[in-house]
Amino acid sequence: MARNNNIIPMTLDSQFYKKMGEQKFSQQNYKKAAEYYAKVLDMSPQDFDIKVKYAESLTHIGMSNQAEHLFYENIAAGTMIPESYYQLSQLNITLNDPNKSFLFGMNYVILTDDEDYKTELEEMFEVSYSSNNDIKIESQLFVAQVIFQFLFSQGRLEEAQNYILRQDASIQDHRIVRNLLAMCYLYLNDFDSAKVMFERLLSEDSTDVYALCHYTLLLYNTNDTEKYERYLKILNKVMPMNDDESFKLGIVLCYLKQYEASQKILQPLYKKGKFLSLQMYNALSFNHYHLNHIEESKFFWNKLQEIAKVNVGYAPWVIDESKAIFESRILPLLHSDDSHYRLYGIFLLNQLKGKEVFMTEDIWSVLETMNDYEKLYLTYLIQDLKLNKLDFIHRGMVKLYEVDSLTHDSLLFVTWIDQAEAVIAEKLDLSSVDAYVAAFVYNYYRNNEHKVTKRQVEEWFDISQYRLNKMIDVLLSI
């Protein structure tokens, strides 16, 4: 076929998508324009002008929240901050939200000294105030809360903490912001810092709902039982003054396993379309599960996963299943007199999903009584140490665990530990774990009522017959 040299190749770069976006925007096809502008930002994420056009397109198609989030990201990252405040102010004029428009706009004015825009806002919204400093503080507090909650609601805790710590000292010292920062320390497990901040807040105002909620949660997490019981009684008597306080109380009550009380508070807020966030969906899923509303629990867990940008942990039914496995299968192994069974118990504990939720002091005390070799294995698992001998034993157990037909054969795993130690004692090359495990499994079942064929073993461990036969001979020679 003759080659057509008149065809001009099309380069699908950012300029191409930018041109297509502008064309669709001018045609008022905002949905298509948004798709093209999104592609431009994928290739040129710092193109602020395109971000503005993308936000306008999103707003036209009813996705104003996503449009605002574009500029929240800039502010959180510390880039194009005045420009982002200005765009948020303009966007909220379009959305007919005068309060947000004015407060975002004032933050723009604070950074740029643009008195003309300040006058424009004051005249547009007919705003009057007696103190420039008061309106400055109110505006800065508003933005600090908005950006913090934006990051926190996505589980971006360290970014939220760093954002607060970048604010002016006068803003950081405001009790609203101190509450936010203390909450962040709490969820980052920096309990000492959180404790100091919450106790200062409560010494200043013992009725502070936010500090009460989080301080009670802190006492729960640090096993300060006597104090926790006292504060839980106080918490159950709290009458929230607004939806914000209700949401905070409902979330914390869920964490404290007060599921029915939490549900009574959160369900009405959900029905009103308030606080639709990771925290809300997570709490509603756990509440429904523990109130035996399984389908509703799965519904809210799915909602949670739809919006999550970070690891959200495990569903309540997965955690319950892990608890049952732990109590029936793993705990007896950890209490065994045989070191190999205890090692196997530690291995199984490490495989459990959501184990962090039920790792109590009692369980840790059991682990603390183990011998040095077993503690070394624990350290290897927790800290990812490079220990060749334990690594060989562990990777072998992982190979066995990945085969469904072998997962529940406890004696197989314990016998593997013994076999692996024999291989180590012979100072053989430990690199081909799959071959050792495959040969071990074949030998183990050859002397067992439950026979397996070489073909099965080859498929389970993706190994050739030649390598399998060779390794069988090696293990039989030990």
- Which sequence spans correspond to the domains of the chain? 318-476
* Phi-psi map region of 451: left, alpha, beta (phi>0 left; psi -120 to 50 alpha): beta
388 band by pLDDT with thresholds 50, 70 and 90: confident
Cα–Cα distance list, 198 to 108, 124, 154, 174 (Å): 32, 41, 23, 13
Q: What is the CA radius of gyration of the chain?
A: 30
- Taking all residues of the chain, what is their mean pLDDT, rounded to a whole number? 92
Q: Is the dihedral of CA 407, 411, 414, 416 positive or negative?
A: negative
- 451 vs 454: CA distance, rounded Å: 10
What is the widest separation between alpha-carbon atoms in the chain?
93
- The confidence score (pLDDT) of residue 53 equals 96
pTM of the complete model: 0.73
Q: Are 226 and 245 in contact (CB under 8 A)?
A: no
pLDDT at 1: 43
User: pLDDT higher for 358 or 149?
Assistant: 149
In this prediction, residue 450 carries a pLDDT of 80
- Residue 217 banded pLDDT, cuts 50, 70, 90: very high
For residues 106 and 115, give the distance between their C-alpha atoms in angstroms, rounded to a whole number.
10
